Amino acid sequence: MGAVPAGAARPASTSARALSLRRYLLLGILLPVGLFVVINTWSLYRQAQVAATTAYDRTLLASAKSISEQLDVEGYDDDARLRARVPYSALEAFEADNQSRIYYKVSNLTGELVSGYTALPRWQGRIPDKPAYAALVDFYDDTYLGEPVRVAALLQPVTGTGGRAMAVIQVAETLELRHTLARQMLLDTLWRQALLVGVIALVVVVVVQRATRPVRKLSAELQARPEGDLTPIDAPDAPRELLPLVDATNAVMNRLEHLLAHQKRFVRDASHQLRTPLAVLKTQVQSALRGDVEPRQALEEINETVDRATALANQMLALAKVEQLRQQTGEGVRDLADAVRAVALDLSPLIAGKDIDFTIETTPAPVVAHQWMLQELARNLLHNAIKHTPDGAPLAVRVVADSRTVALTVGDSGPGIASEMAARLFQPFSAGDVRHGSGLGLAICREIAEALGGSISLENRIERGRTAGLDATVRLPRANDPGHNPP
């Protein structure tokens, strides 16, 4: 394609950067995945905390049971006296490392200290209705000497040969090790999840890069094309999802090529056809200025030339307008019969001027078309028939319709045409009488008929073995035809 002028905006490239498919996919995939990762990480972290708490609680319970094995009792119930022989070394086996510290306290149900750390707060809770372990134990969080601790309170019956009593054994552990373990589990989970997100992002980038390679290839091929090259895009290796875009682009380029060809032809024909009447007009004006002819005769000749040039220009503009309307969609349903009657009324002075025996017969004929097209079609056919019908001779117009098509027939009483001339008359500037026509009337009719999905034909009307006139027939799809698609 041609170079972009300096200073011109480049909306396509800007839009491509702003609406990157890679960015859309990254955001569309990574945002939900990231949200899921955050929720999943938090859930795993909470589950890990619960699991760690359960495991360390078992250690506390084991410590409490170990202490209970060191208890002895003298006396029964209220008179019972508990004795404890618990060296701190007995608890070292339950310490996981040197980060956390374990404290214990042994007392009776009234809170009287038997052994252990006096400052450890007294247990004031209650045993759960459905304890998780086969023991009367309550786990709870508390503080000791300003530090948070996790405490296991075990109610342990103590019996011996000399007595019976109920002991309350409290074992507390600081939380440094639990917090360290929780942070470590969180970090381990986070870096694994981050690695997963990174792998997903890399896969998306690679997949998008490979998936958009045909698009970039097509873009490079289009940019490398010379100016004015509107040939269809050949993309045999394009993915299936890209084929509708390629087909639509080819359709647009085909329409553009058709429009450009029509424009070039119009400019060429206009420059060629208008040159002759303008040259004749200039010659007539120069002749009148020199006095070679009478002024009135010169004006009449000039007027005639201007009329022919005006008619030629109007018909060329009409031919161009047909092509313009061909590209439009969404035309309404029109009645061809109404358009024909309106045109016949407009041309009635010409019909009356030649005293033509004019008859018209119509039935409703709905077609999908622009109103101007139908009127221009009827006007050219009827005007051509009036011109070739002798004075006082018959001229018949008939509009009929069936379930699928409508037909307009204009029959004059002229001399008819030779068979080899019938096809050539539909070509632009191919007039049967070059002195009285531009050769565009039937060309306009053919363009309109084809634009509306129909056809036009010329046939000599034979009566009693001789040519009685010419019938011009246009057939168009009926609007209510289910198989008809508006042009």
Length of the chain: 487
Q: Are residues 409 and 466 in the same domain?
A: yes
Q: Are residues 81 and 207 in the same domain?
A: yes
> Tokens for 421?
């001339």
Q: Is residue 217 part of a domain?
A: no
Name 338's Cβ contacts closer than 8 Å, sequence gap at least 6.
none
**pLDDT tens digits, one per residue of 14-44:** 444 555 666 777 788 878 888 888 888 888 7
Residue 329: predicted pLDDT: 58
Q: In the listed set 327, 344, 360, which residue is the last one of a domain according to the structure? A: 327
Q: Are residues 305 and 429 in the same domain?
A: no
Which residue in 216, 204, 239 sits closest to 23, CA to CA? 204
**pLDDT tens digits, one per residue of 129-181:** 777 777 888 999 999 888 899 999 998 888 877 788 888 999 998 888 877 87
Q: Is residue 487 part of a domain?
A: no
Residue 411: predicted pLDDT: 92
Residue 249 has pLDDT above 70, yes or no: yes
Could you write out the DSSP letters of every residue in 323-364?
HHHHT-----EEEHHHHHHHHHHHTHHHHHHTT-EEEEEE--
Residue 478 has pLDDT above 60, yes or no: yes
**At 360, is the pLDDT very low, low, confident or very high (cuts 50, 70, 90)?**
very high
Q: What is the average pLDDT across 373-398?
A: 90
The residue with tokens 């909470």 is 46
Residue 419, amino acid: S
**pLDDT tens digits, one per residue of 69-80:** 888 888 776 677
Q: Are residues 279 and 402 in the same domain?
A: no
Q: Are residues 33 and 123 in the same domain?
A: yes
**pLDDT tens digits, one per residue of 361-384:** 999 999 988 888 898 889 889 988
Coil/strand/helix, residue 385: helix
| Domain around 251 | 222-327
Q: Is residue 5 part of a domain?
A: no
Strand order in the sheet with 405-411: 357-362, 394-401, 405-411, 466-477, 455-463
**Count of domains for the chain:** 3
Q: In the listed set 164, 187, 211, which residue is the last one of a domain according to the structure? A: 211
The C-alpha atoms of residue 240 and residue 317 are separated, in whole angstroms, by 43
Comparing 199 with 93, the larger pLDDT belongs to 199
Comparing 152 with 316, the larger pLDDT belongs to 152
Q: Is residue 471 part of a domain?
A: yes
Q: Are residues 159 and 268 in the same domain?
A: no
Instruction: Please answer whether residues 175 and 148 qualify as being in contact, where contact means their C-beta atoms are separated by less than 8 angstroms.
Output: yes
Q: Are residues 378 and 356 in the same domain?
A: yes
Q: In the listed set 211, 238, 270, which residue is the last one of a domain according to the structure? A: 211
Chain centroid, CA 242 distance in Å = 13
Phi-psi region of 363 (alpha: psi -120 to 50; beta: other; left: phi over 0): beta
Share of the chain above pLDDT 70, in %: 80
Query: Which residues are paired to 477 by β-bridges?
Result: 405
Q: Is residue 183 part of a domain?
A: yes
Please report, in angstroms and rounded to a whole number, the separation of the first and last CA atoms in the chain: 30
Distances 443 to 94, 320, 395, 460 between C-alpha atoms, Å: 107, 11, 22, 19
Q: Are residues 30 and 140 in the same domain?
A: yes
Name 391's Cβ contacts closer than 8 Å, sequence gap at least 6.
354, 355, 356
Q: Please, what sign has the CA dihedral across residues 34, 40, 45, 46?
A: positive
Residue 12 has pLDDT above 70, yes or no: no
Q: Is residue 436 part of a domain?
A: yes
Q: Is residue 138 part of a domain?
A: yes
Q: Is residue 95 part of a domain?
A: yes
